[in-house]
Amino acid sequence: MKFRHPLAIRALAFVCAQVARVWISTLRPRMYAKDGRRHPVDPREDRYIYAFWHDGLLAPLTVHSHPIQVLISQHADGELIAQTCQRLGVDVIRGSSGKGGCQALLEMIRHSDQAAHLVITPDGPRGPRHELKPGILMVASHSGLPIVPVGIAFSSAWRARSWDRFAVPRPFSRMVGVVGQPIALPPPPLDRRQIEDLGQRVNAELARLTLEAEALAAHPDQPLGAAPTIQLPPANDTARETALRRVA
């Protein structure tokens, strides 16, 4: 069922946000950082473009201890998601690689000097699933912000019958994020060969980190090399930012 009337979308977003707060509080987020830092890092120290696949779009709601801006589609479904995110304290920029895409990417670049991280799902909003589109490379090159690929997985989740098999984690399940090393891009202009090579590199890293996250979600005691573990307190905890701690 599609909701297109503004008042209906606004009312449903309010309900979704209230339900999400309760639901998120039951999840057990766990982050593994390849670079040994606590992610998301304080944007006053370093700012990044965090990238993960579209099916894990709910993940930022569980760990946004610092300001983030998320790129969300301009489609009707995107409006509901955008309003819900805003009610949960997540800033959004509307657009995609399709409708409104150029304007949204330019908006992200224009806001790249603000004290917030950028978040992009590079295979959205219509896929193909887990295939990177070059828009994220444009934003990274023009803004000078490194791309930080993140693999997302859940120990138990419902899957939508959509192009991305959108994941809705079941209550009390684990959300696992594996944060890769930052990837810095050269300044513009990027030629076609650079775009292809960089796109393949980021795509491959996202695929590898996602597989690691899936393994850790299924077997939480499995070690991840020498990477430190960041254990987060339950979402919706006002002390989340100060309670971040490393676990051996």
CATH of the domain at 226: 3.40.1130
pLDDT tens-place string over residues 62-94: 876 777 888 777 766 678 888 888 888 888 877
Mean of pLDDT over the chain: 81
Look at residue 1 and tell me if it is in a domain.
no
The larger pLDDT score, comparing residue 179 to residue 98, is at 179
Look at residue 58 and tell me if it is in a domain.
yes
Look at residue 231 and tell me if it is in a domain.
yes
Look at residue 46 and tell me if it is in a domain.
yes
**How many CA atoms does the CB half-sphere of 177 hold within 13 Å?**
30
Look at residue 23 and tell me if it is in a domain.
no
Nearest partner of 153 among 48, 59, 63, judged by Cα: 59
The answer to whether residue 221 scores a pLDDT higher than 60 is yes
Return d(Cα 199, Cα 93) in angstroms, integer.
22
* Residue 79, domain extent: 6-18+28-247
Amino acid 78: pLDDT: 76
**How many CA atoms does the CB half-sphere of 86 hold within 13 Å?**
14
Amino acid 59: pLDDT: 87
Q: What is the mean pLDDT of residues 88-102?
A: 68
Q: What is the mean pLDDT of residues 15-34?
A: 91
Return d(Cα 104, Cα 132) in angstroms, integer.
17
Buried b (16+ CB within 10 A) or exposed e, 83-97: bbbebbebbbbbbbb
Look at residue 45 and tell me if it is in a domain.
yes
What's the whole-model pTM score?
0.81
**How many CA atoms does the CB half-sphere of 236 hold within 13 Å?**
14
Least confident of 15-19, 63-67, 152-156, 230-234: 230-234
Look at residue 78 and tell me if it is in a domain.
yes
> What's the structural domain count of the chain?
1
The answer to whether residue 126 scores a pLDDT higher than 70 is yes
